[in-house]
Amino acid sequence: MRKRRTYDVYIMSLSRTLYTGVTNNLERRIAEHKERRLGSFTARYNIDRLVYFEEFNDINQAISRESEIKQMARRTKIALIESTTEEWRDLTAE
pTM of the model: 0.88
- State the average pLDDT over residues 69-78: 96
Give the residue extent of every domain in the chain.
7-93
Q: Is the pLDDT of residue 71 over 60?
A: yes
Q: How far apart, in Å, do the first and last CA atoms of the chain sit?
A: 29
Contact (CB, 8 A) for 12 and 53: no
Residues in CB range of 16: below 8 A, 6 or more apart = 78, 88
- State the average pLDDT over residues 71-89: 92
Q: Residue 66 has what pLDDT?
A: 98
| Digit-coded pLDDT (tens) for 2-58 | 567 899 999 999 877 899 999 999 999 998 888 876 567 777 888 889 999 999 999
Q: Residue 41 has what pLDDT?
A: 79
Domain topology for 7-93: GIY-YIG endonuclease (3.40.1440)
Contact (CB, 8 A) for 80 and 72: yes
